[in-house]
Amino acid sequence: MTQIFCPHCAWKPRPDDLWSCEPRCGHEWHTFDTRGQCPKCRKQWAKTHCPACGKWSPHVSWYHDDPEEIARLERLLDPIEAPRPESAPA
Ligand SMILES: [Zn+2]
Ligand SMILES: [Zn+2]
């Protein structure tokens, strides 16, 4: 089963999340409904912005089929396993 989440931080889009097209189009839509294509101006967005971590990733890299990769990325969300800095620089 294909899962959709950010390849950087494993954030999963919810059905009511919206992405904005470029300003002169201004359309807002759920980009994973259309595989990254704006339904108004037909622009194909090769990269998708993650509202959680702020990074842009190739749209195709948001789709995950490999169970091991999914498990690895989902661990990013587990605060117990996340590395902690020993001390913050002054
Ligand atoms: Zn558009
Ligand atoms: Zn992210």
pLDDT in tens, 35-60: 999 999 999 999 999 999 999 999 99
Residues in a beta bridge with 29: 19
Q: Is residue 90 situated within a structural domain?
A: no
Stretch 19-23: mean pLDDT: 97
**Given a cut of 80, is residue 24 above it in pLDDT?**
yes
Q: Is-contact 6 57, C-beta < 8 A?
A: yes
Strand partners, 4: 63
Q: Is residue 86 part of a domain?
A: no
Backbone phi, psi, residue 41, to 5°: -105, 0
| Within-domain flag for 65 | yes
Tokens 């002169």 locate to 24
Residue 88 lies in a domain: no
pLDDT number for residue 68 = 87
The per-residue pLDDT for range 1-12, each reduced to its tens digit, is 889 999 999 999
- For the chain, the domain total comes to 1
85 within domain boundaries: no
Give the mean model confidence (pLDDT) for residues 54-82.
82
CA of 41 to the centre of ligand 2 (A): 26
Q: Is 24 a member of any domain?
A: yes
- The CA 23 to ligand 2 mean position distance, Å, reads 22
Q: State both tokens at 33.
A: 């409904």
Predicted pLDDT at 80: 57
Q: Say how many C-beta atoms besides its own lie within 10 A of residue 50's C-beta.
A: 18
